Amino acid sequence: MLNILPVILHAILFFNLAFGKPIEKPIVEFPYQHAFRRPDISSSFQSTPASHLPSTATLKARPTTVYRIPSPLNTFPRFQERSVEHGQSEILEWIAVEVLGPDIGDRHTLAQLARMAGNAYALPGRKNWYDLDGAWNSSFPFGWENPEDGFRGNVFLSADNSTIVLSIKGTTLQGPTSKKDKFNDNLLFSCCCARVDFTWVFRTVCDCYMHSRTCGNTCLSKALIQDSLFYSIGVGLVNDLLMLYPQANLWLVGHSLGGALASLLGSTYGLPAVAFESPGERLAAERLHLPLPPPSLNTSSSVLPVTHVYHTADPIPQGACNGFASPCAQAGYALETRCHLGKSIVFDTVTKLKWAVDVRTHPIKHIINRILEAEDVVWEDGRDVPEAVEERDCVDCSKWSFPDED
């Protein structure tokens, strides 16, 4: 799968260039065919100064410091191998880079990114496609060729190609991708291979369970790193986009499972990522042996360019849709984690809007239509959206032990 992604991307780009709708500004071009100019932030989005600005009909960006390592595609596999196989950590050279990232304090910007996340579930022109600001009407899909591939979504391009937004699809409950979606959900967000209790013995997604709430840590890491996992496929796709658009700002967005994947990939590459209604992915990052930059701050994930956005009536991002009797478990999902990387913007819909906690508030349409685009709710005095804060003192799977196998 990884080997054919570059061919697929080139084919999709060629099709869009040859047959796509005309746009007023320059069409998408391959980066090795022309020299990129510095991003013109006035054309597709605005740079936000320190003072608060009202929302406008454009995406807003702000300077964001990210930490990266040289040649991540070559370095991370080596780091993972040494960490998993030999229990050794490699000293990495981190570089602080200032890029333009999304202004997560602007509600309109978050709403547009949420619409892009929602569009990962659809193709342009379909009834569940969300309209975007005019500057972002250029896009191409990925992963839709084989109905059962699972890892799919859309790539959005600003009119001048200065900013690329990779939108990754989350879980589809009923559809051709549902089986692989559930496999990835249960592997990433369960404590031990989706073994909720003894009745799940025939529904587990790996063989790492040892005995009485004890699970092999090395076994779990190997299971998550395997090539069939969506994360591994995403690594190849991000690498392709960085090759095609080496001077552009690359942002990642996604909803639910797609948001967790956006966060993990953003952490891997040091790319801004916004995840909507995502289950906790911090434990998955540890099992994937992703180093948190810089090494001196490994006790904190706030330096990662990742922002989670969710509301208090949705039990999934809070790790509250678990246990044998929960609707998630009844549907075959072991969503047991709640700790997130980076920082989180939490809308208190239970207090402000009197919503009941209900898994039916999880779809992306609720956070778009009823939260981000609702004009009659003041979430925090003097702020467009609640402040993004780190989830400190958060612990996943505290009743389990995870020894390293001999």
Residue 390 domain flag = no
Query: Distance between terminal CA atoms of the chain?
Result: 32
CB-based contacts of 167: which residues, under 8 Å, 6+ apart?
Answer: 116, 117, 119, 120, 153, 154, 155, 156, 252, 253, 254, 258
Q: Is the pLDDT of residue 26 over 70?
A: no
- pLDDT for 36: 26
Residue 164 domain flag = yes
Number of domains the chain contains: 1
The mean of the pLDDT values for the chain is 81
The residue that leads in pLDDT, 355 or 5, is 355
d(CA 63, CA 44): 16
The residue that leads in pLDDT, 287 or 87, is 287
- pLDDT for 125: 86
Residue 403 domain flag = no
The residue that leads in pLDDT, 172 or 225, is 172
Residue 65 domain flag = yes
Report residue 346's pLDDT band, with 50, 70 and 90 as the boundaries.
very high
Query: CB burial class (10 A; 0-12, 13-18, 19+) of residue 85?
Result: exposed
- pLDDT for 294: 63
The residue that leads in pLDDT, 373 or 288, is 373
Determine the distance from the C-alpha atom of residue 212 to the mean position of all C-alpha atoms in its chain, rounded to a whole number.
33
Question: Per-residue pLDDT averaged across 76-100, rounded?
Answer: 73
The residue that leads in pLDDT, 378 or 12, is 378
- pLDDT for 320: 95
Residue 221 domain flag = yes
Residue 406 domain flag = no
pTM confidence score = 0.84
* Tens of pLDDT, residues 322-333: 988 899 999 999
- pLDDT for 30: 28
- pLDDT for 199: 75
8 A C-beta contact, residue 259 and residue 276: yes
* Tens of pLDDT, residues 189-202: 999 999 887 777 77
* Tens of pLDDT, residues 284-322: 998 888 877 765 554 455 689 999 999 999 999 999 999
One of 162, 256, 301, 326 is an active-site residue; which one? 256
Q: Is 267 assigned a catalytic role?
A: no
* Tens of pLDDT, residues 238-279: 989 999 999 999 999 999 999 999 999 999 899 999 999 999
The residue that leads in pLDDT, 346 or 200, is 346
- pLDDT for 276: 98
Residue 171 domain flag = yes
- Picking from 47-61, 163-177, 220-234, 259-273, which range would have the lowest pLDDT averaged per residue? 47-61
Determine the structural domain holding residue 52 and report its residue range: 5-372
Q: Is the pLDDT of residue 55 over 80?
A: no
**DSSP collapsed to 3 states, the chain:** CCCCHHHHHHHHHHHHHHHCCCCCCCCCCCHHHCCCCCCCHHHHEEECCCCCCCCCCCEEEEEEEEEECCCHHHHHHHHHHHHHHHCCCCCCCCEEEEEEEECCCCHHHHHHHHHHHHHCCCCCCCCCCCCCCHHHCEEEEECCCCCCCCCCEEEEECCCCCEEEEEECCCCCCCCCHHHHHHHHHHHHCCCCCCCCHHHCCCCCCCCEEECCEECHHHHHHHHHCCCCHHHHHHHHHHHHHHHCCCCEEEEEEECHHHHHHHHHHHHHCCCEEEECCCCCHHHHHHCCCCCCCHHHCCCCCCCCEEEEEECCCCCCCCCCCCCCCHHHHCCCCCCCCCCCCEEEEECHHHHCCCCCCHHHCCHHHHHHHHHCCCCCCCECCECCCCCECCCCCCCCCCCECCCCC
Residue 396 domain flag = no
d(CA 383, CA 230): 36
Nearest to 305 by CA among 60, 49, 63, 47: 63
- pLDDT > 90 in the chain, percent: 54
- pLDDT for 150: 84
Q: Is the pLDDT of residue 343 over 70?
A: yes
Q: Is the pLDDT of residue 15 over 60?
A: no
d(CA 372, CA 130): 14
- Picking from 47-61, 140-154, 213-227, which range would have the lowest pLDDT averaged per residue? 47-61
